[in-house]
Structure 1
Amino acid sequence: MKHLVAATALFATLTAPAFGGEAEIRKAVNDFIGQEAIQSVTRTTYGGLYEVVLETGEMVYTDEQGSFFIDGQLVDLKRRTNITAERQAVLNKVNIGDLPLDQAVKTVRGNGKRTLVTFEDPNCGYCKRFVAEAQQLKDVTIYTFLYPILSPDSAEKSKAIWCSKDRSATWQGWMIDGKLAKAADCSNPIEKNVALGRKLRINGTPTMFLADGSRLGGFMPRAKLEEAIAQAEKNKPAKGK
């Protein structure tokens, strides 16, 4: 469900009674959608609105009575800031320490002191561009979760890469030079990676996470990626926190 209401209609009146509170808002929204679909309900500090985050990751707004939806971007005109985008960035963050990095292909460049986590499909064209660009990244450890969601044979290629003797070299050999690893089967985390990606609502590749847990979606030129990595390293939580 890409949009809950038409883009031209900001308000859609629901046939809900006049009541307030989180429980009532949940009921009104779920009844309107036709299923349990809410991840969280949070009262905002602006306009008396409530932020409703759906299980799909979509964000909509409603009033205290749960009598309408606002489906779109909320902008603070004084600050000239997209409030919705700010909140989405916060909600999309992860704790890097909580990710099962042993399920990822590990590539170390230089001293490897910086961290970059990616979810990639072996048949993803933009992922191939990223892997080529990433060869020039300095002092970074890249954890690549093989995430086969694009083509029927993506899973088989992912398994072959994981089961190879040198996963990092085999991954790069395929993504950069088109050297396909021999088909192989071994104990592998591919299904777990897909489950993890779905839990994180990753719908496209490449999707990247930086040291501070912030998410980047899609291909990014190396210069901008370097800038983002550097900033995230400054913002990452101190060890033990």
Structure 2
Amino acid sequence: MMKPLVLASLFAAASFSAQADDKVVREAIQTLVPNASIDSIAESALPGFYEVSLGGQLIYVTTDGRYLVQGNVYDIANKVDLTEQKRNGARVAALAEVPRDRRIVFEPKEVKHRITVFTDIDCGYCRRLHQEMAEYNARGIAVEYLFYPRAGLGSESFQKAVNVWCAPDRNAAMTRAKAGETLEKRECDNPVSVDFQLGQQIGLTGTPALITEDGTLLPGYMPADALLQRLDGLKQAATQ
């Protein structure tokens, strides 16, 4: 049996080595992007590479910091997209930090599925999605809105989102705004900036962005029946 002191020394050496590689990878990335916001660096399932979370994106960097790879890593034997699986987990963790009272929720009495939708008041397909809210709810799909004004902080779309949030009846205000109605300009404590930053953190590139309960990102509008079929399929796959 290996002596405790020897075992502890091996663990310490392994930890030091990992920290050294971590530093090499961090420095390598910063030579490319000096102000890079590195969220995490972890060992990858891909031999010889570290997995780096960088501004909502996942990249892979060799342990010597020489090569950087962008793309998805697939486990062929198990038919699993390991990169997307990791992204899904990150989305679930991030959205778990958003309480219900920071969302605008449209839900049926009996909920079969819940989706989080990052929306822009002026986005055409966002409006189309909202026009079908009754159909989504009729199929047991609850829609929980967060804001993602694509034009950015301080834009006209941003202010429209604030107007909705600060209205006495947020659900009614959302429906009116999505129909193209100009709402009264309002100001109050609101989560629009935080929502927008969260969307950037998890790597959104457009709206509507639909995120399922398991963290799967479904970019773009989907008709109610197609969405229900997709959600049922994801739930069934999760139980297998």
TM bucket by the smaller chain?
0.7 to 0.9
CA contact (8 A) 2:116 2:211 kept: yes
Partner of 2:159: 156
Inter-CA distance 84–97: structure 2 relative to 1 (3 Å threshold): closer
Which residue type is aligned with residue 141 of structure 1?
A
Partners of 1:119 and 1:145 within 8 A in 2: yes
Asked if the contact 1:114/1:141 (under 8 Å) is kept, the reply is yes
1:44-78 deviation digits (Å, cap 9, x = unpaired)? 33343322222x23332232322222233444555
Does 125-134 or 63-72 show the bigger shift?
A: 63-72
Q: What is the 5 A alignment of 1:14-163?
A: 21-54=21-54, 56-76=55-75, 82-94=81-93, 96-112=95-111, 114-137=113-136, 138=138, 139-150=140-151, 152-163=155-166
Which stretch of the first structure deviates more once superposed, 178-187 or 116-125? 178-187
- Are the counterparts in 1 of residues 209 and 217 from structure 2 also a CA contact under 8 Å? yes
Q: How high is the sequence identity, in percent, across the aligned residues?
A: 24
Displacement of 1:27: 2.0
Residues 233, 30 of structure 1: alpha-carbon distance in 2 compared, 3 angstrom cutoff: same
TM (norm. structure 2) is: 0.73
Give how far 1:115 is off. 2.0
Question: One-letter code of the match for 2:220?
Answer: G
Opposite residue 28 of structure 2, the aligned amino acid is A
- Of 187, 208, 211, 1:209 maps to 211
1:7 aligned residue = none
Q: Take 1:216 and 1:21, find their aligned partners in 2: how far apart are those partners?
A: 35
Cα displacement string for residues 132-191 of structure 1 (whole angstroms, at most 9, x for unaligned residues): 23320133432212332337311222222223332212212332x333323333443323
Residues 95/135 of structure 1: CA separation in 2 closer, same or farther (3 Å cut): same
Q: Identify if the C-alpha distance between structure 1 residues 91 and 191 changes in structure 2 by more than 3 Å, giving closer, same or farther.
A: closer
Partner of 2:228: 226
**Structure 1 length normalisation: TM-score?**
0.72
Task: Using the TM superposition, name which of 43-52 and 86-95 deviates more.
Answer: 86-95
Which protein has the bigger helix share? 2
Kept in 2, the 8 Å contact 1:28–1:66? The answer is yes
SS in 2 for 1:158: helix
Matched residues in 1 for 2:190 and 2:76: separation? 50
User: Partners in 1 of 2:63 and 2:28 — Cα distance?
Assistant: 11
The residue identity in structure 2 corresponding to 1:179 is E
Shift of residue 22, structure 1, vs aligned partner: 1.9
1:142 alignment partner, SS class: strand
Letter matched to residue 159 of structure 1: V
Q: Is 2:57–2:202's contact at 8 Å kept on the other side of the alignment?
A: no
Paired positions, count: 217
Return 5+ residue gaps in structure 2 as ranges. 1-19
